[in-house]
Chains A and B, each alone.
Chain A
């Protein structure tokens, strides 16, 4: 059947007579009216679908008998068409979240639309916030996992700040989904989210990520222009205000560890700084990189121990034990400066100095066999084992408020 321009009207019969007149209306077969709510009583509404061709006649009938009505639906077909589109969209979204391949590397646009489906599926847990734009004007989105409250103590996780480290972004995507699906079923995660919020920035360097798909798989930095040089980009993990410009970063724009003209010169970094500072209640800051299989704490800019070194080392060691328990993957634990290299201007040094005690950096799989081009079939194993370490850190943070 086709319902173009059919109307659905609501009638309220005020008297018994009117009720009978409406019942008689049904008998007028030539008008083909269709009662959605039958005329049973003067207390209840009466809904009638009136085909387009009968509208003039039916309205005259009602008007002649002083029966009042209002139009509920002015064009039924239009509404049906809208509903169909909506249903198709929802079906696609469901298919997307059910069939999204976490074991593959995806382009930026795909990840962004997947994020929307995730939020749509878990609207009471997850919201998407734009924290600013990238240099090339791409939106930067955080997913906020929250069960309520107002600026609850929060945990920050960013992935993909170095764009070529693809397993980092992929792990972020899997982890966001894991948190969404496990809330309500995993008791410690549920308890954590009932008291704390989790913020995830899945693509911390969207311009760089896009560039690794279109031009250079090995691109690391942002894509900002460096005046006077044909080389673009700043190392976003040398650009933070922590020992900025010190050893372990380059002042040469063509270098892959170029620190940039000044601390927080990169908009991608500034957006995060602004969020963290204005929120003011982050208790943990975790940055995810690849590769080398390391779990590190501050400092990078100096090899001297931070005051909380013993505690951070203990937490890291315990977290790594959990990680290893899954597939036997070995990680090393230590400060950035001691474990890999001195590096100034790093994000977790900044967050630690801001007072966010539980600041950690992961370097995920592997140790160099595949390096940045880690086979996609290792994404889920990597994310799964990393989750155990992440969970341990988050649970520890939740259990040790400060």
Chain B
């Protein structure tokens, strides 16, 4: 079996043009056996043949392309990106989308553009607790310079939930405020959020979704872990404006990543992110949170 793999790998060495052929490709193959995540650097045909070899060699391995197990991580990660996308488009202090279920998934490796996931998912609007089933596609570009994931999805039913009155009231309350709102640690260590702080928590999640969408790839799974700090700035161009320091959690690396964001919101414009900046995690300057 191993000889066959090496032989097959050697056959393609000329096409990929890598030096030190047998060694590096063998290593790549070994990595692939161990690393179902990694994208093989081969042509479509090579991938298919190698995929078949790998299938025979390692039972229980997930196929690189084709029909996906909706409960396994590949489809789940892609579906999460749809959640982030929907929040950037239609999230508000009173509307938040969460991925509820993945029903089916299919993966295509498109030579020029990247890897495209076709998904059937159920999305839930968190505040009204209503759900909608929809189709979505997520294209992860092959190269970083091609930008972030491209998503196609829409949830028309969930948008019909009427939040106009709440949004307007909230907007008016804080638009001309003399006292600019500022909050730390939403939720706090014990998961508590004051009721009147919830809309700011939601707003921060929506703003974070812009970052999470931009940063997502097949090897990430993002959630916003906590708002360290959100501070209202003076209203500008009829937009409520905020500075936020948020903590993202990437399930795959298990890292907590700090981001500073400046974002705006109004009922007609929705959330817009003006600035985003990743902060280095200072390992020896952890400050105590509001405890107990």
Which residues of A pack against B, CB within 8 Å?
Answer: 104-105, 107, 166, 212-220, 230-232, 235, 246-247, 250, 254-257, 292, 302-305, 309, 330, 332-335, 337-342, 367-378
Q: Is B126 an interface residue (CB 8 A)?
A: yes
Q: Is B276 an interface residue (CB 8 A)?
A: no
- Assuming the contacts A247-B35, A303-B36, A375-B190, asked whether A254 and B98 have C-beta atoms less than 8 A apart, the reply is no
Tell me which residues across on chain B come within 8 A of A376, comparing CB atoms.
Answer: 190-192
Tell me which residues across on chain A come within 8 A of B37, comparing CB atoms.
Answer: 341-342
Contact B191 A217 (CB under 8 A): no
| Residue of A whose beta carbon sits closest to that of B60 | A305
Tell me which residues across on chain A come within 8 A of B221, comparing CB atoms.
Answer: 340
Contact B189 A373 (CB under 8 A): yes
For the complex, give the distance between the alpha carbons of A213 and B292 in Å.
8
- Assuming the contacts A216-B286, A332-B71, A338-B73, asked whether A371 and B34 have C-beta atoms less than 8 A apart, the reply is no
Q: Is B272 an interface residue (CB 8 A)?
A: no
Contact B225 A304 (CB under 8 A): no
Q: List 5 A-B contacts (CB under 8 A).
A: A230-B284, A338-B60, A339-B73, A370-B191, A373-B191
In chain B, positions 19-62 with a C-beta closer than 8 Å to chain A are: 31, 34-37, 58-62
| Residue of B whose beta carbon sits closest to that of A344 | B34
Closest Cβ–Cβ distance, residue B198 to chain A (whole Å): 12
| Residue of B whose beta carbon sits closest to that of A338 | B72
Contact B254 A220 (CB under 8 A): yes
Contact A230 B283 (CB under 8 A): yes
Partner of A255, one of B98, B192, B255: B255
Tell me which residues across on chain A come within 8 A of B225, comparing CB atoms.
Answer: 218, 371-373
Closest 5 CB pairs of A and B: A375-B191, A368-B223, A305-B60, A216-B286, A256-B254
| Residue of B whose beta carbon sits closest to that of A254 | B283
Q: Is B234 an interface residue (CB 8 A)?
A: no
For the complex, give the distance between the alpha carbons of A292 and B191 in Å.
16
Given contacts A212-B189, A375-B190, 20 further A-B contacts (CB under 8 A): A105-B189, A107-B292, A213-B189, A213-B291, A215-B288, A216-B286, A217-B189, A217-B289, A218-B247, A219-B286, A235-B254, A303-B58, A303-B60, A304-B61, A335-B60, A338-B72, A340-B221, A340-B252, A368-B223, A375-B187
Contact A305 B59 (CB under 8 A): yes
- Assuming the contacts A216-B286, A230-B284, A256-B255, asked whether A303 and B62 have C-beta atoms less than 8 A apart, the reply is yes
| Residue of A whose beta carbon sits closest to that of B291 | A213
For the complex, give the distance between the alpha carbons of A370 and B292 in Å.
17
Tell me which residues across on chain B come within 8 A of A257, comparing CB atoms.
Answer: 253-255
Q: Is B251 an interface residue (CB 8 A)?
A: yes
For the complex, give the distance between the alpha carbons of A342 and B37 in Å.
8
For the complex, give the distance between the alpha carbons of A114 and B292 in Å.
18
Partner of A371, one of B249, B252, B291: B249
For the complex, give the distance between the alpha carbons of A372 and B190 in Å.
9
In chain B, positions 250-284 with a C-beta closer than 8 Å to chain A are: 251-256, 281, 283-284
| Residue of B whose beta carbon sits closest to that of A211 | B286
